[in-house]
Amino acid sequence: MRPEILYPFFADTISLPGVGGRIAALLEKIIGRRVLDLFWHLPVDIIDRSASPALADIKYDQTITVLVTVDKHDAPPRNVRRPYRVWCHDATGKMQLIFFHVKGDYILRQLPVGEERLISGKVEVYNNQLQMTHPDYMLLPDKRDEIPGVEPVYPLTAGISGKVMAKIVRGALERLVELPEWQDKPLLKREGWPTWFDAMKMAHEPQGQNDLQMNSVARQRLAYDEFLANQLALEIMRRQNQKKKGRSLKAKGQLKQKLLDSLPYRLTGAQVQSGAEIEQDLAQPFAMMRLLQGDVGSGKTVVALLAMLVAVENGAQAAMIAPTEILSRQHYASLTEMTAGMDIRIAILTGRDKGKARTKLLEDLRTGEIDILVGTHALFQKDVIYNDLSFAVIDEQHRFGVEQRMALSAKGRDGTSMDVLAMTATPIPRTLTLTAYGDMEVSQLHEKPPGRKPVDTRTIPLNRLDEVVQGIRRAITGGTRVFWICPLVEESEVLDLAAAEERFCHLEQIFGQKVGLVHGKMKSKEKDAVMDRFINGDIDILVATTVVEVGVDVPEATIMVIEHAERFGLSQLHQLRGRVGRGMDQSTCLLLFGNLRGETAKARLKIMRETDDGFLIAEEDLRLRGAGELLGTRQSGMPIFKVASLEEHGALIAMARDDARLILGQDPDLKSERGEALRILLYLFERDEGVRYLTSG
C-alpha cells in the first residue's frame, strides 16, 4: 500500500487551482496526469527581472522591470490591422508598449493615462526608440513583490503559455511536504546536499544559470534519490531470486570435454572465464540470473551451449529463446553442428510447426526425448510441456524487462526456480548495465575468436554511389555476397520501406534476379524465404531496412553497405557491421554518407573507422547521443528516469548500487527507521515492485 503521506502527490492535476479538464488533458500529453509529475517537470531556463535601469541608459535588448508614467494611448480604428500603442516615460526617457489583437477597453483600464505603473518584460531598441511588446506584468507601484526577481522557464506544450505553466507548477509545489530522510546523514554532509524538500524547492526556484545545471547540488541530490530507488528495487529482486529454491546443477565435465575436443578452435580467455562463472552459478542451490554480454562475433553461442550441456548431463532439459524465427533457426543449425556425434537431442519449435509434426515434437518434449529445445517465445505457450526444464537461455536480452525475467525464472519444476542466462550482442555501457540489469550478475566477452580479421571500414560520400555499385559488380563475380542497408527516415517504417524499395528497384535493374528485399512489413514466411535464398546463395545482394533482424550468420557475405550512415546511432552501425567478417575472408563495411553538417555525425563515422571494440563504441554512443536514443533503451528492458541523467549523473550509479547493497545487508526487510523512509522513496519513484517483492517475502 502506498504510504498516506504521498497521497497528495498522486492526486490528479485537475485538483490544482486553475487546472480544468482541457488543461489537464494538455498536461497529460507531455508531463502526466498527477501532481507528482509536475514535481519532476524542472525548469530549463530563467528570466531575470532584477534589472531596473533608467530608460535613457538602455542600449540593447534586455528584460527589465521599471516604474513609468502613462502618457497617451494610440488605439487603431476598428477593422484597421495596426498595433495598439501606449506611450509612457520615466524621468530620463520614453518607451512604447505595443499590443496586438486588443479587444474592448482592457488596455485603457490597465494603463490609465497620467498614472504610474510597474512594467516588466523584454524591451527592444528599434530605430533608436525603446519598445516592449506585450509586457509580462503591468501592476500598481505597491505590487512590486508580485513580480519575481528571477522567474523559472518551463518546457511547454501547445495550448499552455509559459505564465500558465509556471502558475500550475507553483500550485503543485504547494502540495510539497517534508518527507522522512532516507539518505545517510554523513553522505549528505560530505556531498553538501540539501534535504529532499529543499532540493525540490531549489530545483524549481533557480537564482542563476548555475542552478539549472545537472551538477547543481539540488539536481544531484534528486538524481541520487532516483538512482537509489532504482538500485534498491533491483537489489531486492536479486535477493528474492537468490532466496528462491533453485536446483544445484554440478558440471560433470564429460560432455564439455567432448565438445571442446570437436571444436576446430580453442576458446578465448574470456569464454573460459565466463563459462567458469556460469558453472559456479549453476552449482548453487538458488536460481541463476546472469547476463552474458558479448560483442558481435565474440562466441556467445558456444558459452551458452557449454552451460546447457551441464543441465543435460544432470538429466534436465534446456531451452534457448531467440526474438525471431530466423535467429532461432540459425541457433538450431549452429548447436546441431557443434554437437554432431554427441548423442544430444536438439529440436526446434517455431510458430510454423503445425499438425502431426508439432504433436510428435511436443510428445517427445514431455517424455524427455528432447534435451535442448530452440525457438521463439512459442517455447512458453501453455501446450508446451517439458519433462524437466531447468535452464533457459534468452538471446537479445534487451527486449526483456525485469518483470519478464522474474516470470520466466518462475517456470521451473516442482516450485523450484529456473536458471536463466540472458545474452546480448549489444555491448551496453556500464552505467546502463547497472540501471537495467542490476538484478543480474554480468559476464563479458571482450575478445574475438582467433582467425577473425577486423572489418575494413570506409566512409564514402553518396555522390560516389555509381563507383560503389561497380565495385560490388566485381565482388559478386568473385563469389561474395552483399548486405545493403537502407536509411532510417525519421523513425517512419513507411518511409524506410519506400527508401528500401527504391534502392531494390535500382539494383535490380543492374543485377537482375541476384537482388532480394526484406523489410518489416513482410510476413515472416516471405521474409524467411528471401533470407534462405540469400543464405543458400540464390541471391547475392540483400537489400534490407533495419526494422529487420539481420542477425543472420552468412560467412560468404563480406560486404556491408549502409546508406545514409550519418542517420544511424553508433551502436546500430556497429551491430550492422557485425553481420560481415564472420568467415575467414577479409570483409568490408562501406558507410555511405549524405549530409555531414553535424559534429555528432562526423564523430560517429570517425569512431567507426577507428575501432571495432563494441564496448568502447557503446560508451561513445552514450556520450554522443544520450541513453534515451541508445539501441534497445526504448524497449522494455531499460528504465526511464524522471530527474536523473545517465550521461550527466552516471558516476552516482555505482555509489547508489553500493549503498543499496549495504542497506539491504544490514536491514533486509527495510524495517528500521531509515528502512521505513526508504520504502517511501521506492513509492515516490514508483519502484513499487521492490516493495511488493519485499512484502511477498
What's the whole-number average pLDDT of the chain?
A: 85
Q: Which residues contact 535 (CB under 8 A, 6 or more apart)?
A: 552, 554
Q: Which of 226-235, 405-414, 577-586, 615-624 has the lowest mean pLDDT?
A: 405-414
Please check whether residue 21 lies inside any domain of the structure: yes
pLDDT at position 406, please?
63
Distance CA 225, CA 541 (A): 52
Q: Which residues contact 411 (CB under 8 A, 6 or more apart)?
A: 380, 389, 392, 418
Rg (CA), the chain: 32
Contact 542, 516 (CB under 8 A): yes
pLDDT at position 324, please?
79
Question: Which of 398, 421, 445 is a domain's end point?
Answer: 445
Distance CA 371, CA 451 (A): 32
Confidence band for 196, pLDDT divided at 50, 70 and 90: very high
Greater confidence (78 vs 122) lies with 122
Q: Which of 195-204, 367-376, 572-581 has the lowest mean pLDDT?
A: 572-581
Q: What per-residue string of b and e applies to 104-131 under the rule 16 or more CB within 10 Å gives b?
A: eeebeeebeeeeebbbbbebeeeeeebe
Same domain, 116 and 191: no
The pLDDT of residue 348 is above 90: yes
Partnered with residue 561 across adjacent β-strands are 484, 590
- Best-predicted range by mean pLDDT among 395-409, 456-470, 623-637? 456-470
Question: Which of 577, 611, 645 is a domain's end point?
Answer: 611
Same domain, 30 and 54: no
Please check whether residue 295 lies inside any domain of the structure: yes
Query: What digits encode the pLDDT tens for the residues 636-687?
Result: 455 678 899 887 888 899 899 999 999 999 999 999 999 999 999 999 998 8
Greater confidence (508 vs 378) lies with 508
In a 3-state reduction of DSSP, which class is residue 684?
helix
C-alpha cell at 145: 513583490
Distance CA 231, CA 659 (A): 9
In a 3-state reduction of DSSP, which class is residue 518?
strand
Query: What digits encode the pLDDT tens for the residues 293-331?
Result: 887 778 889 999 999 999 999 999 999 998 778 788 889
Please check whether residue 312 lies inside any domain of the structure: yes
Query: What digits encode the pLDDT tens for the residues 532-565?
Result: 888 888 999 999 887 555 456 787 889 999 998 8
The pLDDT of residue 344 is above 90: yes
Same domain, 463 and 506: yes
Same domain, 267 and 384: yes
Pairing between strand 129-133 and 94-99? parallel
Partnered with residue 72 across adjacent β-strands are 87
Please check whether residue 152 lies inside any domain of the structure: no
The pLDDT of residue 609 is above 60: yes
Q: Which residues contact 186 (CB under 8 A, 6 or more apart)?
A: none
Same domain, 439 and 490: no
Same domain, 525 and 475: yes
Same domain, 500 and 537: yes
449 sits in the region (left: phi over 0; alpha: psi -120 to 50; else beta) called beta
Same domain, 460 and 574: yes
Query: Mean pLDDT across the stretch 121-139?
Result: 90
Please check whether residue 164 lies inside any domain of the structure: no
Greater confidence (620 vs 338) lies with 338
Greater confidence (654 vs 439) lies with 654
pLDDT at position 633, please?
41
Greater confidence (5 vs 581) lies with 5
The CATH number of the domain where 578 resides is what?
3.40.50.300
Distance CA 476, CA 358 (A): 40
Contact 121, 136 (CB under 8 A): yes
Confidence band for 630, pLDDT divided at 50, 70 and 90: very low
Query: How many alpha carbons fall within 13 Å on the CB side of residue 529?
Result: 6
Nearest to 165 by CA among 173, 175, 154, 177: 154
pLDDT at position 285, please?
87
Query: What digits encode the pLDDT tens for the residues 8-62?
Result: 999 999 999 888 888 898 888 888 889 999 999 999 999 888 889 999 888 888 9
C-alpha cell at 427: 555491448
3-state helix, strand, coil in the chain (%, to 5): 45, 20, 35
Identity (one letter) of the amino acid at 226? E
Query: Mean pLDDT across the stretch 236-263?
Result: 85
The CATH number of the domain where 86 resides is what?
2.40.50.140
The domain in which residue 63 lies consists of 50-147
Q: Which residues contact 435 (CB under 8 A, 6 or more apart)?
A: 227, 230, 231, 638, 639, 641, 646, 653
The pLDDT of residue 349 is above 80: yes
pLDDT at position 626, please?
57
Read off the pTM: 0.71
Same domain, 439 and 531: no
Q: CA 253 from chain center: how many Å? A: 40
Query: Mean pLDDT across the stretch 226-251?
Result: 86
The pLDDT of residue 159 is above 90: no
Query: What digits encode the pLDDT tens for the residues 685-696?
Result: 988 777 777 665
Nearest to 590 by CA among 461, 491, 691, 496: 461
Contact 485, 561 (CB under 8 A): yes
Q: Identify the helix (H) or strand (E) that includes residue 97.
A: strand 94-99
Same domain, 28 and 92: no
Percent of the chain with pLDDT over 70: 91
Same domain, 38 and 63: no
Greater confidence (584 vs 342) lies with 342
Same domain, 142 and 21: no
Query: How many alpha carbons fall within 13 Å on the CB side of residue 267?
Result: 22
CA terminus-to-terminus distance, the chain: 15
Please check whether residue 233 lies inside any domain of the structure: no
What is the DSSP code (8-state) at residue 206? Answer: -
* Strands ordered across the beta sheet of 588-593: 456-461, 588-593, 557-563, 481-485, 541-544, 515-518
Please check whether residue 68 lies inside any domain of the structure: yes
How many structural domains are present in the chain?
4
Query: Mean pLDDT across the stretch 232-239?
Result: 87
Question: Which of 611, 645, 678 is a domain's end point?
Answer: 611
Contact 459, 593 (CB under 8 A): yes
Please check whether residue 494 lies inside any domain of the structure: yes
Distance CA 141, CA 90 (A): 13
